[in-house]
Amino acid sequence: MKMNPLVSLRNISKSYGSVRANDKINLDIYPGQILALLGENGAGKSTLMSILAGKSLPDEGEIYYQGQRVFLTSEKDSLALGIGMVYQHFMLIEEMQVWENIALGQEEGFWVRKNKIKEKIKDLIAQYDFTLDVDARVKDLSMGEKQRVEILKLLYQDSKILILDEPTSVLTPQETEKLFAGLRKMAREGRAVIFISHKLEEVLEISDEVAILRKGQIVDRVATRDIASPKELALKMVGREVLLDLKPREIEPKEEVLKLENVWGEKLKNINLSLRRGEILALVGVAGNGQQELVEIITGLKRKYQGKVWLFGEEARLFFDSPKSRDYLAYIPEDRLGMATCPELVLTENFLLTLRHHFQKGPLVDYKGAERDLWSKIEEFKIKTPGTHLKARQLSGGNLQKLVLAREFRREPKLIIAEQPTQGLDIGAMQEVWKLLLKAREKAGILLISGDLGEALSLADRIAVIFAGEIVTTFSSRDGEKVAQIGFFMAGGK
């Protein structure tokens, strides 16, 4: 590197209790470069970046900005230096509009000059080729759109260092492409982009350099062009060879567990779907094409729609009123922290969320029994946690997802709705989740909503493509001809 680093981290250490999340880390960040931070869950990537973003303080170590020592005691300090971060869990005000969220805290002077602000945002949107309505309310946006709002927040204040924590985990392939194009543009403008990811291909595609973290230490730092294959990178990251191929063997589908007949909703148009026990149906499509509404209807969260939904041969309305519905249907939502779990509740309580009727003694809850059960699940699913009294928010994404899966599979459901089940997981955890889903398929029908095409193709028996609220086509994942055309279908082609 001929250039001087923009920011240098020196001997950064940070411990949480007995866990050493960062152990004497040294890292230089150069302008105009996309640096990928790669590591398994709990390797310390997020901790390191939250230190750089001013969100947490290091126990030891120094940070230099253009050669000068700085103390980043708050996110404000970091932002003032042009260091901003897009977290996995978005920090947006749901009730406010897109432009309000972006301009929040950066108003100049007394008056809010709405039109001027909006113009500036629209320029940025055009500049980076994002698609976004500045007047929309954040709560109505898809995860991908919310992410763009977060990025725009940083660009709006002209941040020089952008940190993105698992940015593609909520995106479809198309959205990912767009994001990458935007990131490359930002790098060309001289910004530094730090990209935290588990997806190896992506890291190879987007980054100029890769820093690999393992157990709180940087084990390697290599120029991306010197890396021959994702396998090599994976090896460096986990320290052991992992398989990236997983071919499901087909099993005989059993009775129908889910059927949608001419369902119309706010976004949905005439949806017809059928799912049998013993098969995995992947619903693929660009985020925001009606997937969310479809899932809400099937899981009973939304009851206003036209058409018929049949669950286990019963009409949905009847099904949800029957005690059967407590265990027959399991839902693994995209939003792990905030929907599938309560961030402030301890693990045992989170374990009880959908299992409380299994641990009931009269009006009382059998916390002891639940805790015993949870411990056995912690071992079975290899959830890394020091105990059951941790709060959900203290668990890393992968471990939290394993907890959710352990809980949902504990109910032995016959229909599983899995929404982006491996988003933000490392390869090890991802494979475990895949194996678990394939195993669950023996007893259940699985509707997999995934933005990861590779995941959909390697798991699903059938694939349905959704576009603009319509199911464009459904085909077998072995139909090579159709599979090759998926991109075409996802863009609405028929």
- Residues in the site for other proteins, rule: CB under 8 A? 17, 57, 71, 73, 300-301, 325-326, 331, 333, 335, 338-345, 349, 352-354, 356, 360, 363-365, 367
**Contact by Cβ (8 Å): 418, 447:** yes
Give whichever of 57 and 104 is closer to other proteins, judged by the CB atom.
57
Give whichever of 239 and 386 is closer to other proteins, judged by the CB atom.
386
Long-range Cβ contact pairs of 235-239 (< 8 A, separation 24 or more) = 236/212, 237/38, 237/39, 237/40, 237/212, 237/426, 237/427, 238/40, 238/214, 238/426, 238/427, 238/428, 239/214
Determine whether 481 is exposed, middle or buried from the number of CB atoms within 10 Å of its CB (0-12, 13-18, 19+). exposed
Give whichever of 84 and 333 is closer to other proteins, judged by the CB atom.
333
Task: Give the shortest CB-337-to-other proteins separation in angstroms.
Answer: 9
Give whichever of 14 and 153 is closer to other proteins, judged by the CB atom.
14
* Pair of tokens at residue 444: 């259940």
Give whichever of 77 and 256 is closer to other proteins, judged by the CB atom.
77
Task: Give the shortest CB-110-to-other proteins separation in angstroms.
Answer: 28
Q: How many CA atoms lie within 13 A of 234 on its CB side?
A: 18
- Give the contacts of 11 (CB within 8 A, at least 6 positions apart): 24, 25, 26, 60, 61, 62
Task: Please report how the helices 397-410 and 367-380 are oriented relative to each other, as an axis angle in degrees rounded to 10.
Answer: 120
* Pair of tokens at residue 405: 């899966």
Give whichever of 22 and 354 is closer to other proteins, judged by the CB atom.
354
* Pair of tokens at residue 363: 């009006």
**Contact by Cβ (8 Å): 227, 73:** no
CA 429 to chain centroid: 13
Task: Give the shortest CB-361-to-other proteins separation in angstroms.
Answer: 9
Give whichever of 199 and 402 is closer to other proteins, judged by the CB atom.
402
Task: Give the shortest CB-16-to-other proteins separation in angstroms.
Answer: 8
Task: Give the shortest CB-318-to-other proteins separation in angstroms.
Answer: 15
Give whichever of 264 and 367 is closer to other proteins, judged by the CB atom.
367
Q: Count of CB atoms within 10 A of residue 480's CB?
A: 9
Task: Give the shortest CB-325-to-other proteins separation in angstroms.
Answer: 8
Task: Give the shortest CB-370-to-other proteins separation in angstroms.
Answer: 10
**Contact by Cβ (8 Å): 8, 1:** no
Task: Give the shortest CB-338-to-other proteins separation in angstroms.
Answer: 6
